[in-house]
Amino acid sequence: MTTAVILEWSGGVGGPVVLPVLAPLGQDGVALSRQLGCGLGPSRPGVILAPRRSLVRWAFDVASGHPEVGPVAVWPVEVSAGRTAVALAVGGLIAVGRPAGSVPPVVCAGKPPMRRSRPTVCHEVRAEVGGRRVALVVWELLPLPRLAVSGLVETSKAAA
């Protein structure tokens, strides 16, 4: 089951989108736009329960290892199901602007439980849901930059 809403966001063009209907979890988890193993066709959203300290890592593992699930939302227990659904919709808008084959975006509808060193982009979002205006910030979590390990090895060999 889904709900159509009008969405405006600071990261780009908004418009009508479809929100997935998520049932409250009652614990920390990761929400997927599509269930694992369902391919690229239509599917209900999926959820993976995860310990808080692993939420962000698991979200990135799923997004990079199973891009067919689409955008992934870190879902701390204190964030409502409705706000997490909006975050998934924003993730879908972010994904549209990326090259084909890119890793789906990882988002969160509240401050994600992570270290401050991880880069993020905060998107101000306004949605009209059932005639009611809702405003929130959706955090887009960016992957950590990879170190040029091969350059470190070459440098250490030269120093030896």
pLDDT digit string, tens, across residues 106-133? 999 999 999 888 999 999 999 887 778 8
Residue 134 pLDDT level (bands cut at 50, 70, 90): confident
Question: Could you give the CA distance from residue 158 to residue 139 in angstroms, rounded to a whole number?
Answer: 42
Number of compact structural domains in the chain? 1
Q: What was the pLDDT predicted at 41?
A: 57
122 φ, ψ (degrees, to nearest 5): -100, 125
Print the domain residue range for 70.
2-159
pLDDT above 70 as % of the chain: 85
Nearest to 138 by CA among 103, 86, 82: 86
Quick one: tokens of 64? 């990079």
